[in-house]
Amino acid sequence: MVAGTGERAPRPAAPSAGSGPPAGPAPASGSGADPGADERAARLLEAFAEHLAVERGRSPHTVRAYVGDVRDLLAAARSRGGGDPADVDLALLRAWLSGEARAVPDAVAGARGPRAAPGPAARATTARRAASARAFTAWLARTGAAGADAGVRLRAPRLSGALPGVLAAGAVAQVLAAAEEAAEEGGPVALRDAAALELLYATGVRVGELVGLDVDDVDRSRWTVRVMGKGAKERVVPFGAPADAALGRWLGRGRPALAGPRSGSALLLGARGGRLDQRAVRGVVERISGKVVSRHVTPHTLRHSAATHLLDGGADLRSVQELLGHASLATTQLYTHVSVERLRSSYHQAHPRA
């Protein structure tokens, strides 16, 4: 992100069919290591990155994360004397993953005392590394670089089953009212912020999907927005009158004031005219919500809240799945748990025989 602008850096060019995204520096060579190992590892990582981006449709962020994990895995293999993809076996994967799981709490603790159990952040990191390794070993087996898929039996720590944070409908209304009040008194940036918050709650889009929207993605005649989700899957999501009004103010008065040579077709713009960055949106949500609610609110809180309020209002689970862009209905079912918990809480508070 360009410092102080709230804008993201230019998007990297999409990989062509014959070349993958830059794989970054190869693992450092150890003493006495095969001098050609670095070059082979770099070519392998480049081909794996191309597979993730082109064949599996992963986002640039996911590609970077997976390639970084595999780079560490190959370095671990070479430290044990292995320099070939076939040297990556289940024993190495388990040792590498357990080492990573232990390293995170130690680094956080900053002490030499007994190791604490991995926290949620450590478990999430380890789970992602396991997913990276499984994707890599499956690709090695499919392309013939390895005789078998070594990661098929690799297990990762189970992530916490904590329910997502949800704001009550009244609290969301307060947050959106605060954004609208600021827009009435402020300039183009305040108009943009109000439009961003209205879209986040009205459509339940992810923050990355929000900042990726172009002007042509919005159809105000039908009150719909075309969203490009995970895995390059497109969906059309409706929004309501308040979001349309906020968009009208932004497109009519706010965006023209900020637009410049760097704007292109981006719907939401930063202060210098470039496409708005995800980090800037998070800052906007935290700043505006902090004025009216006591808890920490993120763009994902608004997404969780939108899904839960839809279900509470009678929407069926399949419709909410389509709205949120979930690949699996099991992911959407988590929001039914939220609604049940809220119902149980209300029952115990209000029912005379609870």
Per annotation, catalytic residue among 134, 303, 304, 309: 303
Q: How far apart are CA 266 and CA 213, in angstroms?
A: 6
Among 8, 51, 249, 326, the one annotated catalytic: 326
Please indicate whether residue 230 is annotated as part of the active site.
yes
- Considering 206, 249, 255, 304, which one is annotated as catalytic? 206
CA distance 292 to 146: 57
Distances (CA, A) of 105 to 34, 76, 85, 101: 34, 20, 29, 8
Residue 50: how many CB atoms within 10 A of its CB? 19
Separation of alpha carbons 201 and 176, rounded Å? 9
Catalytic pick among 230, 272, 287, 342: 230
Radius of gyration of the chain from Cα atoms?
23
Q: Is 326 a catalytic residue?
A: yes
In angstroms, how far is CA 19 from the centroid of its own chain? Answer: 25
Q: Is 235 helix (H, G, I), strand (E, B) or coil?
A: strand
- What is the torsional sign of CA 88, 93, 95, 99? positive
The single residue of 71, 123, 275, 335 carrying the catalytic annotation is 335
Do 157 and 91 contact (CB within 8 A), yes or no? Answer: no
Compute the distance between CA of residue 158 and CA of residue 120 in angstroms, rounded to an integer: 10
H-type helices in the chain, by residue range? 37-50, 60-79, 90-109, 120-143, 169-185, 188-203, 207-211, 241-249, 255-258, 278-289, 299-312, 317-324, 329-332, 334-350
Residue that is written with structure tokens 């862009």 in the block: 325
Place of tokens 């690799």: 154
Distance, CA of 254 to CA of 194 (rounded, Å): 11
Q: How far is CA 247 from the centre of its chain?
A: 24
Q: How far apart are CA 209 and CA 276, in angstroms?
A: 11
Judge whether 303 counts as a catalytic residue: yes
Q: Is-catalytic flag, 262?
A: no
Q: Which residues does the annotation mark as catalytic? A: 206, 230, 300, 303, 326, 335
